Amino acid sequence: MGKAAVASNRRPMYPMAFTRLLVSLVAVASVQAAVFPTGLYRRADPDVRIPLTFSLAQSNLDKLETFLLDVADPRSPNYGQHWSPAQVKETFRPSAETVDAVQGWLQDAGIHADKIKLGSNGDILQLDITIAEAENLLHAEYYLYSDEDGHLSVGCHDGYTLPVHISQHVDFVWPTMQFSEPRSLSRRSESATWFGRESGATTTPIDNLSAFAEAGCDTSVTLDCLRALYNFDFTPVSELNACYAVEFGNNIYRSEDLDLFFETYSPDQVGHIPTLISVEGGDPDASGTPSEATLDIELMMGLLGSGQNLSLYQVAQTNLSQDPTDRLLAALDGSYCSVAPTGSEGITDCGNKPRTSVISISYHLNPDINDPTISPMVKRQCAEFGKLSLTGITFVASSGDGGVAYSGSEECLLPNGTLAFNTNGSFVGQLPASCPFVTAVGATSVAAGASTDQVEESTTDFPSGGGFSNNFPRPAWQSSAVQNYLDNFVPDYNASVFNRSGRAYPDVAANGIDSGHTGGTSASAPIFASLIAAVNDARLAASKSPVGFINPALYSDAFAGVFNDVTIGSNPACGTEGFVAAPGWDPVSGLGTVNFEKLKAAFLALP
């Protein structure tokens, strides 16, 4: 199946292409745009004033990994001693040297000190100047662009130039940027409930959930299948309610769908709904598409049971040029508000939403390609995931449903730097899964006729996302596991096909329930996140901290016995067989699926 559904769900190329060309950022030389962006309207009037904003480089970012290892490496005496948000904010605030350097340069360029304002967090400089002054300052040409709805925005698609001694102090200059909306990783069609009634044309409707539940776990995955597969029999022992799902834009759930599911699989949860944390007015009762959110919520609420409440960050997306990840991150960390790389305009929830210990994200937001229009943004966002992890949050994300291609849209990278659907280009990963500070989860399924006592295989109904980042170097904590794969099992691809030195993912795997009914790595992430929430529950009861950033622990020797090593399967795309599953870590199923009791014991053994 898959193919037709994926193709029809595919968003048109227009927003992506427009996006990539409008975002132009380079430190020392202008980017040459290959073609004019669609939607180019006209040159901007030189006399019009624009609020030009410089996002200043953070201090100590080069030490982020070291700081994280200090609290997340199982061998560290400070394991689990997470930082306070204030400590994080103070440590990474731009230095006085940075502020002075940029301010001095602006004044030397003839911008009067009155026109330069330092933002209240000390992390941005705002200028009220004309287009002509901005063009002169940045050696740029500003244009107006219109989007599909005719809204005009201003930007410089040919890029801009900063002197080298200033570029090291500046992360971004606005306005220059534009981004597209997130794509849900759910593989279900609209109006479906999780392994409930499927309205998709490719599958048979299931009207009798009881009959469905009696089929084997190879064809119909129930909560009991998952409990058996991962040795997960959970009753909370602490007061913790700390698992959060994230839904973006119009991905909403319907309580009647949840009830249909609970009636069959978890009767004491009928009538239960997640606790809403609305970000920028996000409203799960609004009209929208119920597939992704319903899947995530049914899985997490169902696995955690009635003794734990799930919370839901419902993040509104009213402005397609703004990546909603930025809204989520700003809502959790007020210091991110003014520096969100896709623009702070319209962000009002600044650090005012509760933080939690496990956050599950079943979306992919940007392709992981090395591109001057994408790399600075994804690096800034990834650093923010790292900074939030330092305070004790575990971020879990789906690895994607497109194998070695850019998720469900199956885009690969052509030699001229463009992404194209279903071609023989090089491999493309996706954010946030490829960010090293996020735990990426690939998808498995029970082999035909197999029982839950047997180790699963990597999904065959769709290729589970995995590979190597083009933006993030490989962290030391996974180097020996990944090197083992590269030395012994990697297919013989030529060097341009994938980036051997990149962060490799997924880290782990969980059932992707693609039995022609529902699923994808969209299911795998919330399943794994639920297990981590249950680990935190046990640690809390033992007067220990939540686990926070778990990747260094997962790859450590102390966790070697925790995984069910998945060795069957591959993730073909981009005209290749992709990668193959193998003993040990592999870029299809990561370290494998987990045995919850062993996972819990390993984390309980840590300080």
Ligand X SMILES: *[C@@H]1O[C@H](CO)[C@@H](O)[C@H](O)[C@H]1NC(C)=O
Query: Which residue ranges make up the annotated binding site?
Result: 565-566, 584, 586
- Read off the amino acid at residue 512: G
CB of residue 414 to ligand X, shortest distance in Å: 5
**Annotation marks residue 278 as catalytic:** no
CB of residue 339 to ligand X, shortest distance in Å: 12
Question: Of all residues in this chain, which one has the CB nearest to ligand X in the complex?
Answer: 343
Residues 421-460 that bind ligand X (CB under 6 A): 423-424
CB of residue 469 to ligand X, shortest distance in Å: 6
62 binds ligand X (CB under 6 A): no
Of 237, 506, 559, 484, the C-alpha closest to 398 is: 506
Of 184, 148, 510, 604, the C-alpha closest to 192 is: 184
**Annotation marks residue 296 as catalytic:** yes
> Alpha-carbon distance 378 to 342, whole Å?
10
35 binds ligand X (CB under 6 A): yes
Contacts of 196 (CB under 8 A, 6+ apart): 206, 209, 257, 260, 261, 518
For the chain, how far is it from start to end, CA to CA, in angstroms?
Answer: 47
> Alpha-carbon distance 286 to 334, whole Å?
27
Give 110 or 267: the residue with its C-beta nearer to ligand X: 267
> Alpha-carbon distance 582 to 605, whole Å?
29
CB of residue 59 to ligand X, shortest distance in Å: 22
319, 445, 567, 589: residue in contact with ligand X (rule CB under 6 A) = 319
214 binds ligand X (CB under 6 A): yes
Hey, what are 350's tokens? Answer: 């600044």
- H helices of 144-254, where? 164-167, 209-214, 223-229
201 binds ligand X (CB under 6 A): no
284 binds ligand X (CB under 6 A): no
501 binds ligand X (CB under 6 A): yes
Q: Which residues pair with 33 in a beta bridge?
A: none
Stretch that binds ligand X, among 187-195, 416-424, 435-443, 515-523 (CB under 6 A): 416-424
> Alpha-carbon distance 125 to 366, whole Å?
27
Mask of contacts with ligand X, 125-154, x by CB under 6 A?
--------------------------x-x-
Place of tokens 């940029």: 102
521 binds ligand X (CB under 6 A): no
**Annotation marks residue 158 as catalytic:** no
120, 210, 235, 543: residue in contact with ligand X (rule CB under 6 A) = 210
C-beta separation of 340 from 326 below 8 A: yes
34 binds ligand X (CB under 6 A): yes
307 binds ligand X (CB under 6 A): yes
Quick check: helix, strand or coil at residue 554? helix
Integer angstrom CA distances of residue 466 from 48, 183, 405:
47, 17, 9
Residue tagged active-site, from 311, 445, 522, 524 = 522
Residues that bind ligand X (CB under 6 A): 34-35, 151, 153, 175, 208, 210-211, 214, 241, 307-309, 319, 321-322, 343, 345-346, 370, 414, 416, 418, 423-424, 470, 472-473, 494-496, 499, 501-502, 575
Catalytic residue numbers read 292, 296, 522
